[in-house]
């Protein structure tokens, strides 16, 4: 199996001096009103702002912050007046960040994280509930890394989210701050189209590794005994792939070689169903070749697919926000899991 790790990952924000310097500059600038007077902006206001951005609802954020809805609304309004910016757009359907609000959010996140580190170190304060949300294509290694990240977090309280979902929804999740990190792949076919969408969405792609395409088949499938298979070898077997809903362009496919014709084709929405059909129907799917026996057992094996195409799997993040400590820890675990398949 060819797996080429790519080790360049964004430096965690608490070690990134340039980001901290820029944060202090933005915070200082925000600490003046339009009239040039000092403001009473507080950490509590910043925490309220982060809660509203996360839940997209004043009512829901108020419940999570254990304050009344009017009190939270007034706190956000006071913050907006003090810094001279409109942070949120309020509509009948909910509340969303403005462009200025998105920019302010990333610095507010870093200020809060720095404050929590100080409180934990010098005030012996219990760490806040850890939060992290990941959206990913249907990869077992992404789940393995998530498991390892949680086990090593050592947190007494946390709320983590892992969404195995469609390609378009991964992009939308990260774009709208529903997820910090998204996991997907690029290849020679979809690269230009997806990179254009990522650029328009203010998202960055960070490569993790390059892989040769493999098929996943049952150990009882005759193809499992082969050293490698060709597309011609696959013609009589059912082809399984993940449906992409209304965004069903070939560019959004989770499987490489998405334009190849298949006589027998089945669309599924989740990984468990796909593997059940791989076993029950002697079907196959095309993926990275990275399998986890710990999570998937030994009934499924990977066999190299004899094609010239390659996949570059990576993570995406929003340019408007730095990643949290927990997201950085997840990326570290991703790399560790991938390295175990590198030989």
- Considering only 60-64, 224-228, 229-233, 338-342, which range has the smallest mean pLDDT? 338-342
Model confidence at 32, pLDDT cuts 50, 70, 90, reads very low
Residue for token digits 């892992």?
162
Q: What are phi and psi of 187, to 5 degrees?
A: -145, -175
Class of CATH domain 31-122: mainly alpha
- Considering only 133-142, 145-154, 319-328, which range has the smallest mean pLDDT? 319-328
Cβ neighbours, 10 Å, residue 34: 10
- Per CATH, which fold does 211-311 belong to? D-Maltodextrin-Binding Protein; domain 2 (3.40.190)
* Per-residue confidence (pLDDT) for residue 118, from 0 to 100: 78
* Per-residue confidence (pLDDT) for residue 39, from 0 to 100: 58
Mean pLDDT of 236-249: 89
Distance CA 231, CA 224 (A): 14
Measured torsion, CA atoms of residues 194, 200, 201, 206, in degrees rounded to the nearest 10? 50
DSSP bridge pairs for 237: none
Which residues fall within 8 angstroms of residue 37, CB to CB, at 6 or more apart? Answer: none
Residue 211 has pLDDT above 80, yes or no: yes
* Per-residue confidence (pLDDT) for residue 96, from 0 to 100: 86
Measured torsion, CA atoms of residues 48, 54, 55, 61, in degrees rounded to the nearest 10? -10
Q: Do domains 128-209+313-339 and 211-311 have the same CATH topology?
A: yes
Mean pLDDT of 107-116: 81
Structure tokens at 230: 């060709």
* Per-residue confidence (pLDDT) for residue 8, from 0 to 100: 37
pLDDT digits (tens, 9 = 90+) for 33-75: 333 444 578 899 999 998 898 888 899 899 989 999 999 999 9
Residue for token digits 């012996």?
124
Rg (CA), the chain: 23
* Per-residue confidence (pLDDT) for residue 327, from 0 to 100: 92
Distance CA 224, CA 42 (A): 61
- Considering only 103-107, 171-175, 205-209, 280-284, which range has the smallest mean pLDDT? 103-107
- Considering only 83-87, 94-98, 321-325, which range has the smallest mean pLDDT? 321-325
* Per-residue confidence (pLDDT) for residue 324, from 0 to 100: 84
* Per-residue confidence (pLDDT) for residue 126, from 0 to 100: 60
Cβ neighbours, 10 Å, residue 23: 21
Model confidence at 176, pLDDT cuts 50, 70, 90, reads confident
Q: What are phi and psi of 39, to 5 degrees?
A: -110, 165
* Per-residue confidence (pLDDT) for residue 177, from 0 to 100: 82
Question: Distance of CA 81 to CAs 35, 88, 218, 324, Å?
Answer: 11, 12, 62, 28
Q: Write down how long the chain is.
A: 343
Model confidence at 130, pLDDT cuts 50, 70, 90, reads low
pLDDT digits (tens, 9 = 90+) for 267-299: 999 989 999 999 999 999 999 988 877 776 789
49-54 contacts, C-beta under 8 A, 24 or more apart: 49/76, 49/79, 49/87, 49/104, 49/105, 49/108, 50/105, 50/108, 50/109, 50/112, 52/76, 52/88, 52/95, 53/88, 53/97, 53/101, 53/105, 53/177, 54/131, 54/177
Distance CA 81, CA 190 (A): 45
Spell out where the chain has E strands.
3-5, 88-91, 94-97, 130-136, 158-164, 181-186, 203-211, 214-218, 239-242, 265-268, 285-287, 300-304, 311-318
Residue 263 three-state SS: coil
Question: Distance of CA 11 to CAs 7, 40, 116, 237, 328, Å?
Answer: 11, 31, 19, 45, 8
Does residue 296 or residue 113 have the better pLDDT?
A: 113
Contact 134, 330 (CB under 8 A): yes
Can you state the percent helix, strand and coil of the chain, rounding each to 5? 45, 20, 35
* Per-residue confidence (pLDDT) for residue 129, from 0 to 100: 62
Most confident of 106-120, 161-175, 242-256: 161-175
Model confidence at 157, pLDDT cuts 50, 70, 90, reads confident
pLDDT mean across residues, the chain: 84
Domain ranges of the chain: 31-122, 128-209+313-339, 211-311
* Per-residue confidence (pLDDT) for residue 7, from 0 to 100: 36
Does residue 228 or residue 25 have the better pLDDT?
A: 228
CATH of 128-209+313-339, picked from 3.40.190.10, 3.40.50.300, 3.30.230.10, 3.30.465.10, is 3.40.190.10
């Amino acid at each position: 199996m060819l797996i080429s790790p790519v080790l360049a990952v964004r430096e965690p924000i608490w070690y990134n001096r340039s980001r901290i310097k820029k944060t202090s500059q933005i915070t200082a600038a925000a600490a003046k009103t339009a009239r040039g007077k000092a403001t009473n902006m507080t950490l509590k206001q910043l925490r309220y702002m982060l809660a509203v951005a996360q839940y997209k609802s004043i009512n829901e954020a108020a419940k999570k912050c254990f304050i009344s809805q009017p009190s939270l609304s007034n706190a956000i309004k006071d913050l907006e007046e003090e810094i001279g910016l409109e942070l949120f757009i309020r509509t009948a359907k909910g509340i969303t960040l403005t462009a200025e609000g998105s920019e302010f959010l990333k610095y507010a996140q870093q200020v809060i994280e720095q404050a929590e580190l100080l409180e934990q170190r010098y005030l012996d304060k219990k760490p806040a509930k850890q939060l992290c949300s990941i959206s990913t294509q249907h990869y077992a290694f992404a789940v393995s890394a998530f498991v390892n990240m949680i086990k090593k977090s050592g947190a007494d309280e946390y709320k983590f989210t892992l969404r195995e979902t469609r390609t378009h929804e991964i992009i939308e999740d990260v774009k709208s701050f529903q997820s910090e990190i998204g996991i997907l792949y690029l290849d020679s076919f979809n690269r230009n189209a997806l990179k254009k969408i990522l650029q328009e969405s203010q998202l960055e792609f960070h490569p993790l590794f390059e892989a040769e395409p493999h098929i996943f088949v049952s150990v009882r499938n005759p193809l499992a005994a082969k050293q490698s298979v060709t597309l011609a070898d696959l013609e009589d077997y059912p082809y399984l792939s993940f449906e992409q809903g209304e965004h069903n362009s070939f560019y959004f496919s989770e499987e490489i070689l998405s334009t190849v014709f298949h006589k027998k084709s089945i669309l599924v929405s989740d990984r468990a169903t796909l593997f059940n059909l791989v076993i029950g129907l002697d079907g196959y799917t095309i993926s990275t070749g990275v399998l986890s026996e710990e999570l998937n057992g030994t009934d499924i094996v990977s066999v190299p697919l004899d094609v010239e195409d390659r996949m570059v799997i990576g993570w995406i993040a929003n340019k408007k926000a730095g990643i949290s400590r927990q997201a950085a820890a997840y990326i570290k675990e991703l790399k560790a899991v991938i390295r175990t398949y590198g030989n």
